[in-house]
Chains A and B, each alone.
Chain A
Amino acid sequence: MQQPGAAQAAQTDVRVLELLRDGKHAQAFDCVLDRYESKVYRLCCAVLRDQTLAQDTAQEALLRIWKALPRYDSRAALSTWIYAITRNRCFTAIERRRELQSLSDPAVELEAETATAVDARDPDDSLGLLRELVEALPERYRRVLTLYYYEERSVCETAELLGVPEGTVKTHLHRARSLLLEQLDRLGLKDVSLWLRRPA
């Protein structure tokens, strides 16, 4: 059975194609925005870990989509096409950021910062601690885990956004959780009620 999200996406695809065929590019783009704008932004947030950069990158991606929309030929699903453009813009943004910070490796820097912060963390701030542990996960696991929760625990949506098979998403989710549990265990934070007691 088709999921409601997938059915809606398919409807949007059909509508956009009809509008493009009629030469109504602006209306087609409005349709795309209504359906995918937030998703594009969430994908940028998950990949880039920086909301300001994510905003700029989402805008760039949507501009690209606007320019390329008249040439969209429906060989790939509209969502796949949009997410591919967005991912490419994100990777370009990462490259650009890396060039700007060429003197220091951001991943290493972030890891060092996280490690320091984790060590100095107030034991009561468990959600903050968990957030930092998530940040310290290997990039591929962190992306999958983050998007999985951004997309309301939909493996299918996560896989589509990242352009990977669902099996890969499941494997990465499992590994990410295992790593988190291992880290928490190492820090002596087995008591889950610590997280659930405090408001986010």
Chain B
Amino acid sequence: MAKAAGMSTVNMPDDHLDQALARTLPVPILPAGFRVRLSAALARSAEVDIATRRLMLERERREQLAGLQTDSVRLRWQTLAYLIGGSFAAGATVAVGVPWLHEAFGADAIIAVPMIGTAAGLIIGAASYWRRFGAPRWLP
């Protein structure tokens, strides 16, 4: 209320105060060299960014390498397991299959079946080679 009473007693045209305030509060001008300093600060920040990015990439690479290493070890164990399993399976097949072939088809079957298997293996191998590397150079 006191403020309101105070205001009501003032008898001063507002435009005069306005002009006085405009003189009192001049627009601050951007200091010379501001842009240069800003550019320098931006460059410094970019350097920091590059360093940060490098650290991130190095960490990422380390993680990738660790992942590859783990996968490789897992693959080696898997291969070993397949080899052992395959050998046992082959041994079992021979132990059971050869006497059965002998009884069912006679002595010639024992020779014929492995030959057919060998031929099939050679065909599959040759086809794979052809598909992957193309025709061998020594072929006409």
Contact = CB atoms under 8 A, between A and B. Distances in A.
A193 to B, nearest CB: 8
Contact of A185 (B9, B13, B24, B45): B9
A131 interface: yes
B25 A150 contact: yes
Interface stretch (A89-97, A163-171, A172-180): A172-180
B116 interface: no
Interface string A25-52: 0000000010001100110010000010
Contacts of B17: 177, 180-181, 192
A159 interface: no
A195 B22 contact: no
A67 interface: yes
Contact of A178 (B7, B13, B18, B34): B7
Interface in A40-96: 41-42, 45, 51, 54-55, 58-59, 62-63, 66-67
B10 to A, nearest CB: 4
Interface string A173-200: 0000111111011100010100110001
B43 to A, nearest CB: 11
B10 A41 contact: no
Nearest to B3: A182
B28 to A, nearest CB: 5
B24 A192 contact: no
| A interface: dominant SS | helix
Given A63-B41, A63-B42, A130-B21, A51 B28 contact: yes
Contact of A127 (B3, B18, B24, B34): B24
B16 to A, nearest CB: 4
Interface string A112-129: 000000000000001100
Contacts of B3: 178-179, 182
Contacts of A158: none
B35 interface: yes
B82 to A, nearest CB: 49
A93 B47 CA distance: 24
B78 interface: no
Given A67-B45, A196-B19, A200-B23, A42 B28 contact: yes
Interface of A: 33, 37-38, 41-42, 45, 51, 54-55, 58-59, 62-63, 66-67, 126-127, 130-131, 134, 145-146, 149-150, 152-153, 177-182, 184-186, 190, 192, 195-196, 200
9 contacts: A37-B35, A59-B37, A63-B45, A134-B21, A153-B18, A178-B7, A180-B17, A182-B6, A185-B9
